[in-house]
Structure 1
Amino acid sequence: MRLFLALSLCLMLGSAVTLAAERPIVIAHRGASGLLPEHTIAAYTKAIEDGADFIEPDLVATRDGVLVARHENEISGTTDVAARPEFADREVTKVIDGVAVTGWFTENFTLAELKTLRARERLPELRGTANDGRFEIPTLDEIIALAKARGVGVYPETKHPSYFAAIGLPLEAKLVAALDAAGWRTAEAPVFIQSFEVNNLKQLRKMTGVRLVQLVAGEGAPADGAGRYAEMLTPAGLKAIAAYADGIGPEKTLIIPRGPDMRLMEPTRLVANAHAAGLKVHPWTFRAENHFLPADHKRGDDPRAHGDLVAEIRAYLATGVDGIFSDFTAEAVAAR
């Protein structure tokens, strides 16, 4: 009888562990970026406190080859660099992924110089500026140290990898070296690396065993010219992705489109098709402001006001997605 009870308990615990492992993950999109300036240690820490499973740094390179977290390598919208007279002569125009961009770029600054800047809110018209000037730009190493200390994973995105490779600052080797130093080398590591490009993911597949995710936008094509996103979403395209990646990160409307009235429609077959190809599905990005929500989950007319983000996330969880990117970690955890 005791043996029977022991075996039963083991089976029950095993099932619980399996269910816990399979529950959708909550990825803190640039940290708790709905509450604090994105890509700061404060935003990542808040997200961890609110229950995130993974924190997401977008990675760009400095002039001296250090990986730091910024949404883009052009930083006038996320730092106070434009107000710093000592850097006025660094404003330039560059062509990034085929688009002319004017501003200040991380690759024109050393890490020491970037550390003198302070983060600003990227969406001040929606989220205010109360926390501008309080936080510095973190390095990948600092973010990994935080994640390890707090027991969460990291979900880095390589930003404009072909551009950085072309200017002699490739991202991949430094990223893999940082993950290796943390002891994160295999598919069991608490890591996903994501990219909108294809060829750097294929390169990374040869360099590391951690999980890789192909990001997919609703339209357009990867900057490295590797096909078009629409082609990736076909069963054949998903099978091709599965040869070098472990999942896809689709724009969320590819899973549940919005109709002419901006309400949620019936889900597509993307989740089922991706799962059939052996791929995880982590859609982006879930935000609480009415400005971003479908019409059926808005509350009032103020674009800055928060609607029913939990209800929107639950609609997506019902499709069987394996994780979600959200600017608001607490709401995502509540929805799950």
Structure 2
Amino acid sequence: MKFKLLLCVALALSACTSGTANEGKSAMAKDPIIIAHRGASGERPEHTIASYTLAIEQGADYIEPDLVLTKDGVLVARHENEISETTDVADRPEFADRKASKTIDGQKMTGWFTEDFTLAELKTLRAKERLPMLRKANMAYDGQFEIPTFEEIILLAKAKEKETGRRIGIYPETKHPSYFASIGLPHEAPLLTMLQKHGYTQKDDPLFIQSFEVGNLKALRGKTKLRLIQLMSKDDGPADDPATKYASMAKPDGLKAIAIYANGIGVEKAMVIPRTMLGNLSEPTSLVADAHMAGLDVHIWTFRRENYFLPLGQRSGLNPAGHGDLVAEIKAFLATGIDGFFSDNVAEAAVAAR
């Protein structure tokens, strides 16, 4: 089985046809989109204009901002609304009294939260590398970049479109939408207003909106023609519907239900190709074929070149921060017929996909 899978990858042919639901299907996706996960976050601190700029220069089709809100209702790009891991806020004495404990999506968190700062205050902070133990080189950029607004990211994409002559897409994620709605800062209105302002209104526009929650996407479906993506992980379930599990949503009946309000799914890569007990890639599941049968695109996350994140067979050496064969891992997933994928390392992603 393992030899057969590797042979398929090496030759970039159809997916392996050994007892999977993809049997008989030509699986290599045509022109899968490359989504720069928080920008070129493997080489610059994530969610910064520098990270997004580098990602575009390296060939990303889409750049991905995670969107949270400020106290004054402005959408900004941060991985989480708790920002001590990605900014220097903990070192700023003027904001010491903003430290707080909150329960978000059922988890208690302590730190500094975007909703307790105005945009002007957040703009005084500087970004830092979120994974310093794995990405020491990125720490050279700590303190150099601001937190960007969603509009600044849109303007960057528009400027780069003019400069390069190619379409640069944007792939925003609404982070913790039910939580933000509960404190009077819903995503939908500012998000759609900003997108409409800059001409993103139609299904064929270079724009996807993604969310791990369901209610948020259903609300958006009634208000926009833009493409929507239901995010899913191999464990857990939507924060706004804890009784439901993503595993059940990924079954054929669940996918049909998703297709009523979304255009695709964004899934953890282990849902497409699990790993063996030893940490190698196993046989593909039927998820890609099942989703395509339901009329859904399949985008998967997240590809990173550090050994820590790679399957055992694609690692190089024992250092978790060392760089392994990311291209080989991506090609294995492309052979399943996915329509796009997220990566922290756009240069390697472009080599694999093109």
TM-score, normalised to structure 2's length? 0.88
User: Paired residue for 2:128, among 120, 127, 131?
Assistant: 120
The reply to whether residue 308 of structure 1 matches residue 318 of structure 2 is: no
User: Paired residue for 1:290, among 298, 307, 324?
Assistant: 307
Query: Secondary structure of 2:309's match?
Result: coil
User: Paired residue for 2:152, among 139, 142, 146?
Assistant: 142
1:4 aligns to what?
none
The reply to whether residue 81 of structure 1 matches residue 97 of structure 2 is: no
For the residues of structure 2 that align with 1:303 and 1:98, how far apart are their CA atoms? 31
Deviation (angstroms), 1:130: 1.2
Deviation (angstroms), 1:22: 4.4
2:263 aligns to what?
246
User: Paired residue for 1:198, among 196, 214, 223?
Assistant: 214
The reply to whether residue 132 of structure 1 matches residue 149 of structure 2 is: no
**Letter matched to residue 294 of structure 2:** A
Deviation (angstroms), 1:150: 1.3
User: Paired residue for 1:24, among 10, 29, 32?
Assistant: 32
1:8 aligns to what?
none
The reply to whether residue 334 of structure 1 matches residue 351 of structure 2 is: yes
The reply to whether residue 48 of structure 1 matches residue 85 of structure 2 is: no
The reply to whether residue 278 of structure 1 matches residue 295 of structure 2 is: yes
For the residues of structure 1 that align with 2:257 and 2:114, how far apart are their CA atoms? 34
For the residues of structure 2 that align with 1:103 and 1:281, how far apart are their CA atoms? 35
User: Paired residue for 1:91, among 86, 93, 99?
Assistant: 99
User: Paired residue for 2:67, among 51, 59, 62?
Assistant: 59
Deviation (angstroms), 1:317: 0.3
Kindly tell me the number of residue pairs found equivalent between the two proteins: 316
**Letter matched to residue 229 of structure 1:** Y
Deviation (angstroms), 1:255: 0.2
**Letter matched to residue 180 of structure 1:** Q
Larger relative contact order, structure 1 or 2 (CA cutoff 8 Å, min sep 6): 2
For the residues of structure 2 that align with 1:273 and 1:193, how far apart are their CA atoms? 22
Unaligned runs of 5+ in 1: 1-20
For the residues of structure 1 that align with 2:111 and 2:89, how far apart are their CA atoms? 9
The runs of at least 4 aligned residues of structure 1 exceeding 2 Å deviation read none
**Letter matched to residue 151 of structure 2:** D
For the residues of structure 2 that align with 1:223 and 1:291, how far apart are their CA atoms? 28
For the residues of structure 1 that align with 2:40 and 2:224, how far apart are their CA atoms? 28
For the residues of structure 1 that align with 2:140 and 2:159, how far apart are their CA atoms? 28
2:337 aligns to what?
320
For the residues of structure 1 that align with 2:236 and 2:84, how far apart are their CA atoms? 25
Query: Secondary structure of 1:332's match?
Result: helix
Deviation (angstroms), 1:131: 1.0
1:229 aligns to what?
246
For the residues of structure 2 that align with 1:175 and 1:145, how far apart are their CA atoms? 15
1:34 aligns to what?
42
Unaligned runs of 5+ in 2: 1-28, 162-167
For the residues of structure 2 that align with 1:265 and 1:228, how far apart are their CA atoms? 23
For the residues of structure 2 that align with 1:149 and 1:258, how far apart are their CA atoms? 41
Q: Deviations over 1:183-226 (max 9, x none)?
A: 11011100000000000000001111110000001111100016
For the residues of structure 2 that align with 1:240 and 1:301, how far apart are their CA atoms? 44
Query: Secondary structure of 1:27's match?
Result: strand
TM-score, normalised to structure 1's length? 0.93
What is the root-mean-square deviation of aligned Cα atoms in Å? 0.9
Query: Secondary structure of 1:43's match?
Result: helix
For the residues of structure 1 that align with 2:30 and 2:196, how far apart are their CA atoms? 25
**Letter matched to residue 65 of structure 2:** P
**Letter matched to residue 312 of structure 1:** E
